[in-house]
Homo-oligomer: A and B are copies of this chain.
């Protein structure tokens, strides 16, 4: 049965960076919370857009031709197939949505294992 999710409570259950936790599912997608700090890897998703909502802190979404800086309450969708690298100068907390099973690095060999909280 679907339950409500308090995003801050879910974020308080772990400390690792770049290790998404699935908090609920929606139309074949995982809704995830992630703590991020420092640079992630350059990657792309050939089969899906990539939804970012910043909950706390600030992140840069670097792309080949531009960088988007997001603060709390700001959303950005990286279009399918576009190379990008999220970077957070200080720790930030974000919500992301991707189809269930999407490797966070764009590559199953290097992806974080999906966990649920």
Chain A residues at the B interface, C-beta cutoff of 8 Å: 2-8, 23-27, 29, 31, 48-49, 51, 53, 55, 68-70, 73-79, 95, 97, 99
Kindly list chain B residues whose C-beta atoms are within 8 Å of the C-beta of A55. Answer: 73
Are A5 and B75 within 8 A (Cβ)? yes
Are B77 and A2 within 8 A (Cβ)? yes
Are B74 and A4 within 8 A (Cβ)? yes
Complex Cα distance, B25 from A75, in Å, reads 11
Kindly list chain B residues whose C-beta atoms are within 8 Å of the C-beta of A27. Answer: 29, 48-49, 51, 99
Number of copies: 2
Are B73 and A25 within 8 A (Cβ)? no
Are A76 and B26 within 8 A (Cβ)? no
A68 CB to closest chain B CB (Å) equals 5
Are A75 and B29 within 8 A (Cβ)? no
For A61, give the chain B residue with the smallest CB separation. B4
Complex Cα distance, B71 from A8, in Å, reads 12
Lowest 6 CB-CB distances: which A-B pairs, in order? A5-B75, A4-B76, A26-B51, A7-B73, A26-B77, A27-B49
